[in-house]
Amino acid sequence: MTHKLIYTPDYLLVVDNSRVIAHLPINNSPILTGVDLLPSLEQEDDVERLIKIEQEASYKQGKGTISWYEQEKRKEYYNKAKEKYKYTEEDVKIAIQQAFLSGVERLEDFEKVEKMTLENIQSLSQPKIPVGFECEIEYFYMASKMFYKDADWVKCNKDQYESIKEEIPTCPLKKVHKEISTPEGHTQWVGKYIF
């Protein structure tokens, strides 16, 4: 389930029927009491996958595989760049593609690539604001009171949910946002930002 984000100077907000249902404080703003949190904008590091993409591209171009040492150096550089400039996975992917496509042989080509690289770095160093948040969904069905003394909601996967929906149309079902509790006791949604 994807929600549109509203950006204010102090918060990223998810609203529903004119009511704030989730938020992310920014610029050292306080947490809104009783309102679910969105995860930090610092997403999981996906450098391993980027290295694999670069490895495959190098192999396809006939340059062979990238050594373990070079892979480790690239990981270090990517992580430093992401830390300093807040590069997204897509930004680093574009940089890798441009590096492979820029077979520089003449001075004019080199100057053109250098100018293009500087322009890219300047555009990438601008902070990116997400436009949406895609929630992970959890699926539940109600256990029958005929078979269980303590009938309650039972977690299932999406395929089980769809199967029950089709085979037992009267069975109560529900889909909810996946949530976790933070160490401070706040409820936080699980999912990913859309930029």
Position 133 scores a pLDDT of 92
Give the pLDDT confidence score for residue 44 in this predicted structure.
42
Span 90-145, pLDDT tens digits: 676 566 556 655 555 665 665 666 666 666 656 655 556 788 899 999 999 888 76
The pTM of the full predicted model, rounded to 2 decimals, is 0.54
Q: Is the pLDDT of residue 47 over 60?
A: yes
82/92 Cα distance (integer angstroms): 9
Give pLDDT, residue 40: 83
List residues bridging with 175 in a β-sheet.
139
Q: What is the mean pLDDT of the chain?
A: 77
Using pLDDT thresholds of 50, 70 and 90, give the confidence band for residue 159. very high
- Residue 38, pLDDT score: 93
Residue closest to 172 by CA, chosen among 151, 148, 193, 143: 143
pLDDT of res. 45: 47
Residue type, 166: E
Q: Which residues pair with 187 in a beta bridge?
A: 181
Q: How far apart are CA 98 and CA 44, in angstroms?
A: 24
Is the pLDDT at 4 greater than 70? The verdict is yes
Q: Which of 147, 124, 139, 144 is nearest to 177 (CA)?
A: 139
Residue 34 in this model has a pLDDT that exceeds 80: yes
